[in-house]
Structure 1
Amino acid sequence: MSTANTSSPEPQVNALLSINNVYLLIGLVVFIIVVRTLQDQNHPKRLTTALFWSLFGSVFLFGDLSISLVGESWTYRWIGVSVVLLAILAGAGRVAMGSYDCPSEEQKDADAKRFGNSLFIPAVMIPVVTVVCTLLLKDVAIADWYLFDQSHVTLSALTLACMVALLVSWKLTKGSPKRAISDSRRLVDSIGWAAILPQMLAMLGGVFIVANTGTAIQDLITLFISPDDKFMLVVLYCVGMALFTMVMGNAFAAFPVMTAGIALPFLIEGHGASPAPLVAIGMYSGYCGTLMTPMAANFNIVPAALLDLKDKYQVVKVQVPTALTLLGINIILMYGVIFNG
């Protein structure tokens, strides 16, 4: 007699910091910023800026609810329209900074001297708490409830680390939740549309993969380059990784496309190149592209905004010579090591 239907089902495992709860928290914070933006009567582009962040936050706050009410198909359409509207608002320059209740420069200098290096404690706590929770607390559970989402442990741990750092900041500076929200809005507005660029680029990478862009690149290569020319194939792979990363803003998004289009069919299968050093140096070449593009907003545009640089592309301009030098070294290094295995 079969026992397939007699065994008790495995209990459903829940998590206090589930990925859905993390998304809800993000959406809540974004909508608090939206409310504060609408309250700012001196904001030069108050309504369009609020609309931009409302579209962004609604996906986090109402995504699951929309799926349950109207289904996945209509939810995906709504998100697609939201993405287009976000691009239009950002491209038209309708997202801007407002007015903020900030302390004077004299007060900032006084606070900096009073707190000293202890100001860095909350910032340092974020990576430290994240690593500790990920390594030591990932399996902590009470009955069927885990502390962290077992499918997204690191992200859940990062969320907890940010909350702990916020509490420590309040204790250290004697600040208030209202001040934290105000500064959060100022920081988000300083970064602007670039804050959501990594998500947009991740979606774009998925589109390229589904569209079999790697196959198209493979067909294009055969039109201009002989498959027997190993050096030119290496040059194309390294330069292609850098250029595609400049477009995508992320070497991880460029990697599957360029590797499927050049490295795998021509270098690994065609010439027996050693895969490990090939893909490692290929990724390094992609990072050279990261240094040269504003699309890598979290590396190049965000620091310029946080440092109040007059030229928001200054970071990119300074990094270009280093990136080109490293790219040339990567080409020579790759050609020298991948065929010696």
Structure 2
Amino acid sequence: MTNPIEYFMSVDITMSDKLLEVLYFVIGLVTLYVAFRNLQDKENKKRYGSFIFWFLLGLMFVIGPWIPPLYTGILMVLMVLSPILKQVGVGSEPAPSNEETEKNYKKIGMKIFIPALSIGVCALAFALVTPISPLVGMGVGVLVAFIMLLAYSKDNTPSIIMHDCRRMMDIVGPLSMLPTLLAALGSVFTAAGVGDVLSGLVANVIPEGNIVIGMIVYCVGMALFTMIMGNAFAAITVMTVGIGAPFVLAYGADPVIVGSLALTCGYCGTLCTPMAANFNMVPVAVLEMKDNNGVIKNQILIAVIMLVIQTVMMIILS
């Protein structure tokens, strides 16, 4: 549907999908706010490139569902030109001073974690209790956290919170889009038949009927392909079509156990790749770490150990 009124009035569209579109619209407005704040920031030497990136991203969140896919693709290409040309920079939004941080900690203490926890609790509650998407629950959780922060201190005005939102988005920058793009890449790979190509290649390696070797290749392949794609959810579709279904599930393995453990094997790959930006690169930016691979280096050993454990569990339990 290209008409938002028709979309929201339709009885064929679930309430969950409608609320998701509302959530995306709000995200788009916040992103547009970041765009115009950067445009007005004369201390940001890359303010025009930053504006173009955030503006086009916010525009796609706001009008993306209501324009032809071709136009969305054009906007996407234009959007990524700024990061490619290194024209997205961090603005001059002031960070809290050490004295201010210490003062607020003494006043609020460990209660500062309650708003963050509320986001996860709301998402879980929506997933378990309602038919509405947990993504909507996360949005509600953010609103609850927003209200809590206002209640914590009269200094936490909406403008202060929005300024901090802009500061955080500037720090993360274009990396914020990588998980979404990688998830879409999984669908593209599946549609392009990459799974079938993998199946043909692996058929020359795995002895026919040897489910144990099939499981080992499936688990290790999930970790490696996740490292390439940066997203286990994107990798599992391709790997299951190419390896899991013909070489594991076809011989009677329990699909529930196999699917669950294959995904956790993919998570082991997530710990080892800069492509998993939200896990491994965003913390580097937020914490201003000197080593860009510092997070990954501290996770590799654990990832390898857990990959072995998950593989053994799949062989034993399924």
Coarse TM-score class (shorter-chain normalised): 0.7 to 0.9
Q: Counterparts in 2 of 1:35-74, with a 5 A limit?
A: 35-65=36-66, 67=67
Q: Which residue of 2 aligns with 1:107?
A: 100
CA distance in 1, matches of 2:263, 2:14: 37
1:49 counterpart letter in structure 2: S
- Stretches of structure 2 that go unaligned for 5 or more consecutive residues are 1-9
Say whether the 8 Å CA contact 1:291–1:300 is kept in structure 2.
yes
Aligned partner (choices 72, 76, 98) of residue 91 of structure 2: 98
CA distance in 2, matches of 1:170, 1:53: 26
Deviations 1:109-167 (A, max 9, x none): 1221222112222212222334445555x4xxxxxxxxxxx6x4422232222112112
Aligned partner (choices 275, 290, 295) of residue 255 of structure 2: 275
CA distance in 1, matches of 2:143, 2:100: 26
Say whether the 8 Å CA contact 1:227–1:233 is kept in structure 2.
no
Q: Which residue of 2 aligns with 1:3?
A: none
- In the alignment, structure 1 residue 313 sits paired with structure 2 residue 293: yes
Q: Which residue of 2 aligns with 1:201?
A: 182
1:245 counterpart letter in structure 2: T
CA distance in 2, matches of 1:62, 1:248: 27
Aligned partner (choices 197, 200, 214) of residue 216 of structure 1: 197
Aligned partner (choices 72, 76, 87) of residue 80 of structure 2: 87
CA distance in 1, matches of 2:148, 2:271: 34
Deviations 1:16-65 (A, max 9, x none): 97222212111111101111111110102111111111111111112244
Q: Which residue of 1 aligns with 2:215?
A: 234
Greater Cα offset, 79-88 or 22-31: 79-88
CA distance in 1, matches of 2:307, 2:280: 18
Q: Which residue of 2 aligns with 1:5?
A: none
- Deviation at 1:85? 3.1
The change in CA–CA distance for 1:24 and 1:331 in structure 2 (over 3 A counts) is: closer
Greater Cα offset, 91-100 or 209-218: 91-100
- In the alignment, structure 1 residue 33 sits paired with structure 2 residue 34: yes
Say whether the 8 Å CA contact 2:53–2:80 is kept in structure 1.
no
Aligned partner (choices 138, 152, 159) of residue 139 of structure 2: 159
State the TM-score, normalized to the length of structure 2.
Answer: 0.87
The change in CA–CA distance for 1:156 and 1:275 in structure 2 (over 3 A counts) is: closer
Q: Which residue of 2 aligns with 1:124?
A: 117
Deviations 1:156-193 (A, max 9, x none): 23222211211221221221121111100110111111
The change in CA–CA distance for 1:55 and 1:290 in structure 2 (over 3 A counts) is: same
Say whether the 8 Å CA contact 1:130–1:157 is kept in structure 2.
yes
1:35 counterpart letter in structure 2: F
Say whether the 8 Å CA contact 2:119–2:137 is kept in structure 1.
no
Q: Which residue of 2 aligns with 1:249?
A: 230
Say whether the 8 Å CA contact 2:82–2:88 is kept in structure 1.
yes
- Deviation at 1:12? 7.7
Q: Secondary structure at the match of 1:253?
A: helix
State the TM-score, normalized to the length of structure 1.
Answer: 0.82
- Deviation at 1:243? 0.9
Say whether the 8 Å CA contact 1:43–1:98 is kept in structure 2.
yes
